[in-house]
Structure 1
């Protein structure tokens, strides 16, 4: 088994799933914050781009030449959202560039190559490429999962990707019935006999 190829395959699949969540959306919906902490689809794509440049670039002494938002004194979380003067095409191009740069690092180094992650605790600061690759697979998958939920909240589109929805096939009416059953179960477990709409529902 080629472990490097297998890990890279998982990473590439999750990358594709994440960026595909932008498909078919206008500028506002791609950028709008959908949680109290400001999570947005384009922000997730932008964040993962910089995560890849860091973990599979600088960490292994292979800087990409691309600057980070905070290099010019911007706020620390500037990688988590898209400013009005940043185009979607620019962010997606950065995302694809970071993926290619990350893949080149994986291709150039053995899995036991040691890097340095300055923002990790001292006892974990020098992981192998294998460890970083596993870490990145988990992180990108986590953010792809965030994107799944955010996209569903925006327009109801659910599933991992167009070619692999990974959700049961139900009509909107069937989904409504299914959701109502879950709501009723939650209310019963929470001690409420009512199955009507909760305050703030709708």
Structure 2
């Protein structure tokens, strides 16, 4: 796993301190100070910080878009064809990659999203795929299954996603799945 090795090697350079590594990759003044404290050339620190940042983003993208997540999500959806389901993805591309169901996202016009949501709300079953468009401020009645494919560190986002599924309706049983990869930062 070359990506993990690169990430860990670079992260070790910053004593595994996320804020220091992030600051050195985005803030020239802080990077120069860190380099001075270490007694090394500023360009060395900046290069290592940028390498760490690239590895971190690549690792995050790999985890968020891992094919196993889609495989598991599709199995969950297949077993619940008679339910109204929603998936929460990290990107529009990921939401669209399911190939079937309704897709709601910010790149569509307000009119398109309204029509999509209306069609889904009028259906008795089906799947609504979204990246962030339904995290807040959207009413989607009848949902009973939610699948979270990308973990978000925001407590508000977590609550809003849960709230989409757990709204009280007489006789309703809700299921919420969070699909994570074992031995990753998502899993912890």
Alignment TM-score, normalising by the size of structure 1: 0.24
Which structure: greater strand fraction? 2
Higher relative contact order (CA 8 A, sep 6+): 1
Higher helix share: 1
